[in-house]
Chains A and B, each alone.
Chain A
């Protein structure tokens, strides 16, 4: 009880403390000290600084998630922008503010999935060729040739999979999320998430050729 009243006081101090010059940066600093749940509470009360703090804290996560699931940087900024717009509109639906990051992730995943499905559909009808893997947006320049080759091949194979499987596998093996987090981000049950990852894994195992294996064989 005492804890909750202390936290309320803290929120009040933050929401009222923007007087004088440089109030914005001070406010951002003070909001940065708050945890997600507190920021969500403030953002729900139309406090834009709190929303900005949430954005700045999680934009990187959302951007990387979008790029890595898509396999390219195309439209990643649009996706993140749209995701945060939705977050702003639907913040009241979030029950537990501590789950903000996972909730944001699930929105990003849904937006990417819609985009992947649409692209797949268009490719299916020959309207548009599938999007090429943009290796430069995925791998660091410092990555070894082996790692780059591996990434290129994995993403090329991922593109041929159903979006659901591709997303689940990427979240698990590239983003390194726990299985329950994969399920939550994908908006499915744990069992379904496992099934999707396994299906993708089998597919990759069947089709993946170690980048330098062929050369070794030739040698």
Chain B
């Protein structure tokens, strides 16, 4: 048996729990919890007491002055029912579902609707007075990632795809997947040559989780895939979305350049020119400034003959002929 690889002793590891750090996190945490320094209880105990007295008096006066119209009964076995006092037996009551502690609001609402008298048998007392102790239903941490995620995390995309199919299929998973899961599905789809599905999943990330930190990346990837698929209009929208979601993000510059490229491919020279100007303005030291200028000049030159009556949409025609990747003005940084 080979020896254990790691032999550095535990004492060689640094302790990060410095009091300053712990205190710093606590201060942030406390402000996030909305907690201001609490005052001693003695200073405000009269607030709820006054409320109870006023409210209780109101209920008492109301009960004496108005005739009770309905009686709310809470049967331990049957649930809640409204009945006339001394009237016919109550219709079948709404059953109280087990493990539902939020009964107090119902009782309060009934009391506001009519000056009702609440008949509460023993089990319902807790319902009226305090929230029933919740039963923990969720176990803290015993849910394992699905097989397809594990396989994907290991880079085993073909088996991951099989596992996806076994867990109900791609489309079914798309319906419920979180942003992170969708991105894993994108990986699987792309690695197994299913560009359409990857696009579908990326669209979902941007539409369903626009606030997720991964949404700008998803928009960027979506733009690149759409550009590769020969949909420059869709790609331009995706790049624009990336810029909108993360205007000062890591990809803002690249997204603008790619949007320019997509517009060029669409043959929308005016829009491309506008984007080129914006790039020059926003990123005067931009890495792609020279490329953009050159491509724009080239496109404008090519467009001149069409103004004079020559066949238009040279860019589109070129695109239809195959969109040669090697001649694309920009190499794809995220795919």
Binding site for B on A (CB under 8 A): 16, 18-20, 23, 48, 51-52, 55-56, 59-61, 63-64, 67-68, 73, 76-77, 80-81, 84-85, 88, 92-95, 99, 102-103, 106-107, 110, 114, 117-118, 121-122, 124-128, 136-140, 142-144, 147-148, 150-151, 154, 162-164, 173-174, 176, 184-185, 187-189, 192, 201, 204-205, 208
Q: What are 6 inter-chain pairs, A to B, with CB distance below 8 A?
A: A126-B334, A140-B12, A140-B13, A162-B153, A173-B5, A173-B6
Which residues of the partner chain B approach A103 to less than 8 Å between Cβ atoms? 140-141
Minimum C-beta distance from B245 to chain A (A): 15
Q: Cβ of B11: which chain A residues have Cβ within 8 Å of it?
A: 140
In the complex the two chains form, is B32's CB within 8 Å of A85's CB? yes
8 Å CB contact of B180 from A23, A117, A125, A144: A117
CB distance from B259 to the nearest CB of A (A): 17
Q: B7 at interface (Cβ–Cβ under 8 A)?
A: yes
Task: Give Cα distance in the complex from A140 to B183, angstroms.
Answer: 38
Q: Among A68, A84, A127, A192, which residue has its beta carbon within 8 angstroms of that of B144?
A: A192
CA distance A60 to B18 in the complex (A): 8
A94–B334 touching, CB < 8 Å: no
Q: Among B2, B26, B134, which residue has its beta carbon within 8 angstroms of that of A56?
A: B26
Asked if residues B25 and A201 are in contact (CB atoms below 8 Å), the reply is: no
Does B112 make an interface contact (CB < 8 A)? no
In the assembled complex, the Cα of A95 lies from the Cα of B134 at a distance in Å of 10
> Closest 9 CB pairs between A and B?
A60-B17, A106-B141, A143-B12, A147-B8, A95-B136, A103-B140, A204-B5, A147-B12, A187-B141
The reply to whether B251 and A84 form a contact with Cβ atoms under 8 Å apart is no
Residues on A with beta carbons closer than 8 Å to the beta carbon of B10: 176
Question: Are A81 and B25 also in contact (CB < 8 A) when A19-B40, A117-B180 are?
Answer: yes
Q: Are A18 and B5 in contact (CB under 8 A)?
A: no
Interface of A (DSSP majority class)? helix
Over the window 13-51 of chain B, the binary record of Cβ atoms lying under 8 Å from chain A Cβ atoms (1 yes, 0 no) is: 111110001101110111011010010111000000000
Q: Are A77 and B24 in contact (CB under 8 A)?
A: yes
A81-B28, A125-B221 known; A67 vs B213 contact (CB < 8 Å):
no
Contacting residues, chain B, for A80 (C-beta < 8 A): 25
Least CB separation from B35: chain A residue:
A48
Cβ–Cβ < 8 Å partners of B144 in chain A: 187-189, 192
Q: Chain B: residues with CB nearer than 8 A to chain A? A: 2, 4-17, 21-22, 24-26, 28-30, 32-33, 35, 38, 40-42, 134, 136-145, 150, 153-155, 180, 183, 187, 213-214, 217, 221, 250-251, 333-335
| A81 and B13 contacting across the interface, CB-CB below 8 Å | no
Q: Is the CB of A127 within 8 A of B9?
A: no
Beta-carbon contact of A52 and B214 below 8 Å: no
Contact of B21 with A77 in the complex, beta carbons under 8 Å:
yes
With both beta carbons as reference points, the residue of chain B lying nearest to A135 in the complex is identified as: B14
Q: Give the shortest distance, in Å, between B88 (CB) and chain A (any CB).
A: 42
CA distance A112 to B119 in the complex (A): 53
Instruction: Flag if A88 contacts B13 (CB, 8 Å).
Output: no
Contacts A140-B11, A174-B13 given; indicate if A122 touches B29 (C-beta within 8 A). Answer: no
Assuming the A-B contacts A59-B26, A95-B136, A103-B141, are A208 and B5 also in contact, with contact meaning beta carbons closer than 8 angstroms in the complex? yes
- A63 and B17 contact, Cβ closer than 8 Å, known pairs A106-B140, A176-B10: yes
Instruction: Give every chain B residue within 8 A of A204 (Cβ-Cβ).
Output: 5-6
CB pair B13 A68 closer than 8 Å: yes
Q: B160 CB to closest chain A CB, in angstroms?
A: 12
Cβ distance A210 to chain B, nearest Cβ, rounded Å: 9
Residues from chain A with a CB closer than 8 A to the CB of B145 are 164, 187-188
Q: Which residues of A contact B251 (CB under 8 A)?
A: 127
Neighbouring A residues of B26 by C-beta, 8 Å: 52, 55-56, 59
